[in-house]
Chain A
Amino acid sequence: MTDLITASPDSPSVLARPRPRRRRSRGWRNALIGWSFILPNLIGFVAITLVPVLAMFALSFASWDGYNPPSWVGLKNFRRLFKDDASMTALWNTLYYAVGYVPLTMLAALGLALLLNRKMRGVAFFRAVAFFPYITSLVAVAIVWNMLFNPQFGPVNQFLGWFGVHGPGWTTSTTWAMPAVIVTSVWRDMGYYMILFLAGLQAIPKELYEAAEVDGTNAWQRFRAVTVPGLRPTSFLVLILLTVQAFKVFDLIYVMTQGGPGDATLVLAQQIYQTGIVDGQYGYASAISVLLFALVLVLTLIQFWFNGRRERK
């Protein structure tokens, strides 16, 4: 590939042409080469992401059963969306999940990274252990945690029982199903974000810590004054990834509780699946998707704005 780029401008046919044309053709050539590099990704993106996303925006103003031609209904889907109890419950549940999942995962991942960012025996082993949940099949994770949370025979409630606490019904209780789901997702994902934090920690220059030590700071002060600012680019990335992840949660909840009991863990992604794929109301499902899209977009923009302001400080 490199041969191709360097060799071709020197070929006689190119040299023979007058100068200005040669420059233009060279520019074209470079552009073409550039395009050809990103083409495989671009084709995939356009065909299976961009087109469906644009179709979603169009369909949100239509009524479509997925088979017969769609018919234009204007804002009807959106009016229905804000009156529909199930969709509104799904919206609140999604926010609830995000509020629990994002900070907890971040704290857990950072904690693990700090613990495992030191020279000690078997640190590679412990890092692998922490990462392990992330590569485990999600269905297996959901099923095993479901059994752990079993109200009668589950180890979680047996453990609580030793302290005289009568454990709740967890996934069978409308109050505790969401916390149970959040705990499971935090456990599953913390290893992955731990790796990101570890990379961030190792990028912080050692000299800063040494200088801080010379200045007579204690461990907490060093964490506040060196680690936290040094990790800001990583934390920002993790925060964005986690937010997006939280809002599109589907698989874990679908296997663990199917949105139940009742609609206690029904989230937007599942409501979209239910109304679109299962009930065949693709127009209405698209309207819910637009809501989800807007939500993630606004939150991401806020985070960018916040980060930008801090960076300028």
Chain B
Amino acid sequence: MHRRKFLQLAASAAAAGPLLSACGSSSGSSSGSDGPVTLTVSTWSMSTTPEFKALFDAFQKLYPNITIKPVDILAADYSTKVKVMLSGGDSTDIITMKNTTDYGQFAERGQLRDISSLASSGTAPSLQGLSSFKMNDKYYALPYRQDFWALFYNKKLFDAAGKPYPTNMTWDEYATLAESLTTGSGGSKVYGTYHHTWRSVVQAISAAQTGGDLIGGKYEFFTDQYDIALGIQNAGAALDYGTATTQKTGYQAMIETGKTAMLPMGTWLIGTLWADKKSGTTDIDWSMAPMPQRSGASGVTTFGSPTAFSINKKAKNVDAAEKFIDFATGPQGAAIVAGIGIVPALLNDDTRKVYFGLDGMPTDAGFQTAFKPDKVVLEMPVNDKSSQIDTILTAEHTLVMTKQKSIAAGIAEMDSRVQTEVE
């Protein structure tokens, strides 16, 4: 009995051996254009991020000899996991850039391949957000989707309050509107708006609209925006920051269950709302307006964050990787991305037509206007210090929003910490 058990164990260990080593070495053949190639691509939460599968399927149809093997990582762990992978000499061919903060680090350390030639060919020069990826006059990544922030709203709640749908507003008008849309109390309270707990909700929008520098170490320009955000919270027109953090409130749940009338959020929410409505998860009647602006501002300024593909310096299948990036960021890729409700970086009349033509997308003119902001500023500048500064700004943001510190004291602390601690 014992011996048999031992044998079974040994056999399964022997069987696992080649399996394990196969995982480590991934694909063998290097860049041969004829032989079958396995291209590895890092992705996050593929089941809830439909664009990956859509792009991979279409690409494999076009290049039957290339098989794409996704390296799927939980979205919340993505940034950390990729850092560890690259530091460990991992040879995953394509590294997807979830945000520009990490991109700065990777490019600075020489972990990514220079793809400037791709950036200057075909439709690539017209990609939205391309300039964010320029480092030392070179490009190490090309964006394939470009999300920007807008104001989502629940039409039914506006109708019930007898208010016209929002269009261009100032922040003061927005605050007043949020108060007038707040109804009920306790568990059945419906808030005028919901500000998610991220620091960008206050900080990135004020940097974009005042021209402030998020990595400069001087943050007085946050003051007005904190006044607005805290004013709305104090008036009870937005869920209290402390409650949102302790309950880990999801912004998606807030809008989908009709707990808030408005929600400033990135355009990635469009794809989610569109898909959830299609699948019957929610029946919310929603649309989108431009972000509120500072009084006296001309045009619509918002902030955004592109998502990009880059090639690992240690990639084994460079040819195939370049083909994929060219495809995913080009017109075909953009049409596929737009076809599942996601804003492609190649935003022209063709892709807009695909996007607005989707069954179940809001059809009002306001939605289409909101889709053309005049200026989209990068959420966080590309810099190898961004990550450290982000930590400090986040810490002080929570203190100001939970009223542990006054706005002035919080900003003073941001200034001094960024100036002394960041190295």
Q: Which residues of A contact B (CB under 8 A)?
A: 65-68, 80, 84-86, 143, 146-147, 149-154, 169-174, 259-264, 266, 274, 277-281, 284
Chain B contact residue count (CB 8 A cutoff): 33
Pick from B109, B241, B405, B423: contact of A172, CB under 8 Å: B241
- Contact present for B80 and A172 (CB under 8 Å): no
B interface residue numbers (CB < 8 A to A): 79-80, 83-84, 86-87, 105, 109-111, 240-243, 245-248, 387-388, 391-392, 395-396, 398-399, 402, 404-405, 417, 420-421, 423
Cβ of A278 and Cβ of B387 under 8 Å apart?
yes
Q: List B contacts of A154 (CB < 8 A).
A: 246
Q: Is A65 a contact partner of B109 (Cβ separation < 8 A)?
A: yes
Could you tell me if A169 and B110 are in contact, using CB atoms closer than 8 angstroms?
no
User: How near does chain A come to B396, taking the closest CB pair, in angstroms?
Assistant: 7
7 additional A-B pairs beyond A151-B243, A278-B80, beta carbons within 8 Å, are: A67-B111, A150-B246, A154-B246, A171-B242, A174-B399, A174-B404, A260-B395
Question: In the complex, A267→B382 CA distance in Å?
Answer: 28
Nearest chain A CB to B11's CB is how many angstroms away? 19
> A interface, by DSSP: helix, strand, loop or mixed?
loop
Q: Cβ of A263: which chain B residues have Cβ within 8 Å of it?
A: 395
Among B87, B110, B402, B417, the most chain A Cβ lie within 10 Å of the Cβ of: B402
Closest approach, in angstroms, between the C-beta of B122 and any C-beta of chain A? 31
Closest to B405 in A: A262
Distance (Å) between the CB of A40 and the closest chain B CB? 13
Residues in B neighbouring A274, C-beta threshold 8 A: 391
Q: How far is the CB of B131 from chain A (nearest CB, A)?
A: 24
Among A66, A259, A262, residue most surrounded by chain B Cβ atoms (within 10 Å):
A262
Question: Which residue of A67, A152, A259 is within 8 Å of B240 (Cβ)?
Answer: A152
* Minimal beta-carbon separation of A286 from chain B (angstroms): 14
A173 to B248, CA, bound (A): 16
Q: In the complex the two chains form, is B83's CB within 8 Å of A171's CB?
A: no
Closest to B384 in A: A280
Residues A279 and B417 in contact, CB atoms below 8 Å apart: no
Residue of B nearest to A284 (CB): B423
For B243, the chain A residues whose CB sits under 8 A away are 150-153
Q: What are some 12 contacts across the A-B interface (CB < 8 A)?
A: A66-B109, A85-B420, A146-B246, A146-B248, A147-B247, A150-B243, A152-B242, A172-B241, A260-B245, A261-B402, A264-B404, A278-B83
6 tightest CB-CB pairs across the interface, nearest first? Answer: A172-B242, A66-B87, A262-B399, A261-B398, A172-B402, A260-B398
With a CB–CB cut-off of 8 A, which chain A residues contact B86?
A: 67
* Interchain CA distance A297-B248 in the complex, whole Å: 37
Chain A residues with CB below 8 A from B405, complex form: 262
